Structure 1
Amino acid sequence: MATEELLDFDAQNKDAYEALIVTIEAKEQAMSLLIAVCDDLNLREQIIAKYEAELQPHFRLYRITLARGEPSLYDALAQLVQNEEYLRQGGKAVITVTGSEQLYFLKLENERSEQEIFFGYLQWTREALREFPYPIILWVTNQMLVNLIKKAPDFWSWREGVFRFVSRKTITVSSQDIEPIRLALNESELSSINDDNPYFLPIEDLQQLIQQKEQQGKKDSSLATLYFSLGRIYSNRLERGEFQDYQKEIVLAIEYYRKAIELQKELGLERDLATSLNSQTYLYYAQGRYNEAEPLFQQALELRKRLLGENHPDVATSLNNLALLYKAQGRYAEAEPIYQQALELCKRLLGEDHPNLATSLSNLAKLYKAQERYSEAEPLFVQALELRKRLLGEDHPYSATSLNNLALLYYAQGRYAEAEPLYQQALELYKRLLGEDHPDVASSLNDLAELYRSQGRYSEAEPLYHKALEISDRVLGVNHPNTNIIRQNLAELRANMNPSNL
């Protein structure tokens, strides 16, 4: 089988794909239920397109989507057969079924959830599926799979195979993100959530739950919590590389934080307001919207000082964020005392062994590096790296960031032989932990390419710049500051390679 074209497939996904193809070919003109599992809709579409192209010479390929109101697999198949003479004549076909990922898990004040209706249909109509002598590939998410096994056991027992495709990206809310939302749910909604299911519910369920509460006119603290929690979920997805669409989800995160801020102001929830302001503003910073970010960072800092006092870890966080903004704007003289104040607070309040201390050390070191104060920056970078490795582990995105920061320092000093292995190690960590389509991967590729360019290794640098630019264009957008930097670096490389064209 020609799986070599699927360059982003790891070994597990290649094995699953091969097994799926073999099973389809072995079950032609026989009813066979094939369960394909994938949480990444983009990856799913690539896989479907791949197997349809591979099977095209031997089968006629069909796709159907489950109806939201009446999600009956049998009805969807029967309607397809009714409309297709080829199927009624017994032609060789493969039918792909999608849409289960759109079905709500929460009941949302209905007697049954859309997923429960779907599982009920699967149980009731299992025998009738014999009418369809074709391989039927039903695509589900991991969240759907867990519930399908429990709630449609008869249907499940008929499966010919389960084919799991793994991806960091997902459309479900993880167990680590659900806890703050529990406080905003009622008993009926909580009863829908199963503690032993790590794939708790589709993210769209939370959007629908919020919309329902908005329509009911319930402007209370639980709605504010839902707004903030969904904003935080989207933020976490961006940081962990779980997003389906980076630009869309950063906009959604900002929007839900904005709604939380408005309601928290209305309800006088000042402590929560400071947290929401800080979270929303950090996303403005990530987008390069520095002028919008500054007054909001300052507002969050003043709120926290007034509510919590000068000596509080949250105040240190706000100080760090404000200094981060000043540093990005080149306002080094303003950033330095704020960074130093944040660092002293972290040491005094959190102790010497805390991840936040590593962040403060790293931020101050980056400021020193920008000012070419290399001898002051290096021990701070090294200390931050050692802290993160010990507290978070070597396989953590923040540890990768510390490796990359130290490599940047060595590069700035011309210590290329020391920088290169650190860049490469950071890049491999980012790819493995965050996935190929992440802004940190683009930045890391750019940094390594810069090193190669400085050494005259142009043929090695060029593909890295192209890959970095392709990721940054698609994920961050063509006008993002990071994208512009990579584009400029690529232009400089071309000038280096073709000096006669200058």
Structure 2
Amino acid sequence: MTNLLSVDDVAAYNERSLKTLVRAISLSQGQFSLILVRCNYTWLAEQMSAKLKTKLSIELEEFKLPDSVQTLYTTIQDCLCQNHPDYLAVFNLESVTEIDRVLNSTNQVREEFRKRFPFPLILWVNDWVLEKLIRYAPDFKSWAASSIKFEIATQELIDFLRQKAETIFSQALEVGANPFLSKVAVNLAMGSPHRQVLTLAQKDLQHHGVSLEPSLAASLEFVLGRDDYANDQLELALEHFDRSLAFWQEARMDDATSSDFLNPRQFKEREGVLLFYFGLCYCRQADLHPAQNRNHWKKAREFLRRCIETFEGLGRLDLVAKSIAQLGQVLRRLEAWAELEALAQKALDLHQNLGKTQEFSFEVQLAQDYGFLAEVALGRLKWRSAKRFAEQALQILDRAVTPKPQQKALYCLLLARARKHLGNAQLATVDLETAKEIRVRDDTPLHQHDPQLYIQILQELRSLYFNRGRYLDAFKIKQEQHKIEHQYGFRAFIGATQLQPQQQTRNPAWKTSRTATIAHEITAASRGQDINRLLERVSRDDYKLTVIHGHSGVGKSSIVNAGLVPALQQRAIGERAVIPVVLPTYTDWSRELGERLMEACSGDGNPPLNSEDENENFHWSPQVILDRLRQNISRNLLTVLIFDQFEEFFFVYSYQANRKDFYDFLFQCLNLPFVKIILSLREDYIHYLLDFDRIPHLDAINNNILDKNIRYQLGNFSSEDARNIIQELTRKTHFQLELDLIEQLVRDLSRELGKVRPIELQLVGAQLQEEDITSLSQYWLLGSNPKDKLIERSLVQIIRDCGAENAKAAWKLLSTLVDEKNNRPLKTKQELSNAIGFSGPPMANTSFVAKIKPRYSPLDIPQQLDLILNIFEGSGLIFRHREESGERYQLVHDYLVSPIRQRIEVNLAKRLARSEAAQKISQRQIEKRNAQL
């Protein structure tokens, strides 16, 4: 229908549509019928639905879909609770987060609608949803006749767009006492139009042949850009902002006065708002692209400066007061101390004066001002001033009506730095421990909102722990720091540690956290194909069990946690959402599995489990877990239980009788529909699975757990994979490697096996980054075997983590784990203890040990041994074998043997040289004494 310019024309058209809808419902009573009603606007749909009720004489049932719904069929089924209405109208499909998944699963189970729903089903959809129906559920959609559409008058639509644009701009300007930036997220959640509604409104106007006046078009460009910013579509946002800003800057004053809803002053105000949002976009670019963050901050600084100048030119000091802190945040990132100090003093005066003369509360902004001054003082090494300013910031923030935990974490960090330099390490440690545990909006961890701040807190805390002799605590903080740096793109290589899913800094406009994504190491290599094959196995009915196996260091745990789990979380299999649950420890397997199952089922979009499960004293027996799995089946969920590092199970339960409960549980799981089992373990322990032959009647896996169709082997990387991984990892960080260096590195890593061990690639890459070696010439400076030299230096770094006073013992322990034939013998804890207790000459006299005197008395041998073993095991240097006779320790890989042997031989040569020199001196002294006699 075109040219619906008058209200009367639209009313007549909609009345005809209502009659058509009533007739379609009447003709379909008592049987399933799909009726599609097209309406692009929620308020219009509500009006038409209300009119429909007055025209029907039969029972009416309406249902609004939750945004988090995962399936359409089961959601409707749960809503009806076995009751069959005369007809059911379903609303809100356009707001469903996983709309593509929902429609795809609807198409797959479309026959269930006919079987179970003997009544007309009316889906209220807009044009956007209708297009998706055609794409993702074509068979289901084909059951419906032509859609019945309701329209809106052109002038009413224009008024709607104008009102929404005005509302958004007003919210951007009039944000009360709250900080300008933090209010962005609230505004987006306070009824501002969904992107698709704006787009559909514009299309409807184009369909009617109506062009918007330039000022309204420019306002809508801002609204669309703001929506893109909220969804991290930053390039699109910048394009919208650019078109909008161009109008406000270039429009002549007569254009302004001809507008029926704007005046010249409002033009300049909107220009200022656009400049501010440009600044926000570039700040967000810096969050998402750490390798280019400095360039993005510089661009943000320029736009934010212009924003403040614009508001100052209008005399809108209230807007200056609300926006100036964002420029301060950029200046502190750039470490522009002089400019930041001037800005902070200006902001401080402004906030104090406005707080006295106007009905605004500026506690949060005042705290920021003092925080900026504290940071300037730290940059200039003025510790006492920094301490005073940081304390003032915290005191003022405590009085603020709205809590700002992220700012509190920053001020605690600044205070800790000042206290450390003033000699109060104990209080500094308390400040940092407080900052580290701070939770932000929706009880999310600090690193999701500001990973750089969290990393800085970890760096300072690690330093204080280490300097106070708390080496194991310092090591754990270091491991966490490296993990966060790698997840958020600040570190290319994570070292000999399990990969984690990639994370993205949370946008202030997000209402909830986004799902983590597959690690770059996996997507850049053939591991991506492994993920696809594993996903296929999970989706097929004939694969109830999968056994992932491979040698130590090939990345079994990494592919599970950083690849398979995030991939499963982002997809549906048939009509069912997938719930992956990973169990890595087995000391109390049923309790741990039950708690992890509860946590997984309580995530976004999943129905919560019973509240009684949240009681920490709740007993998670295998039978209770099975009951929960059956509940998942009824909720239309597919549960994937993943038992990672499964060899640990056999070490914890060394006697066959103790394993019976788990075997019975596994048997029950394999006989449940929509429950899949994945076991992941080292290849040298795969024979332990033969113990499962004791389980009778394993028909689900043909009574053969080691069948080739059940096993899935992971191997090392090809040279091409390794090359792609290195390029992908370094491309996203500040750490850029020359192509020639990458080629040589891959050759060195693949020389022994013709393949590249994933763990060795990460270890060598991490050491390259630690020493900032980015060129082939720097690499060759390491010697004739640079790869082994890097591994040796990584060993030295691990020894450093043990503390100077424990270094000699650590080297002794390492030397015990290799023999003269370059083997990696297994050693008991007692044998290692004896090696440390040996009173002979030290096995290593490293330069750092020689220069740094121990500040603490040595630990006794058991404590020292536990410390060293914990750090070695946590670094991926040694592996602990749990056997019936006791625990034994072994170097993880052969590639570690050569660097250790070389150091032993070098140290032995040095000792021999010193001994020979001492003998020569002694001989000369004897000869001199004899000559005197």
What's the TM-score, normalizing by structure 1?
A: 0.49
Task: Between the two structures, name the one with larger relative contact order (CA 8 Å, sep ≥ 6).
Answer: 1
TM-score w.r.t. structure 2 length?
Answer: 0.28
Larger radius of gyration: 2
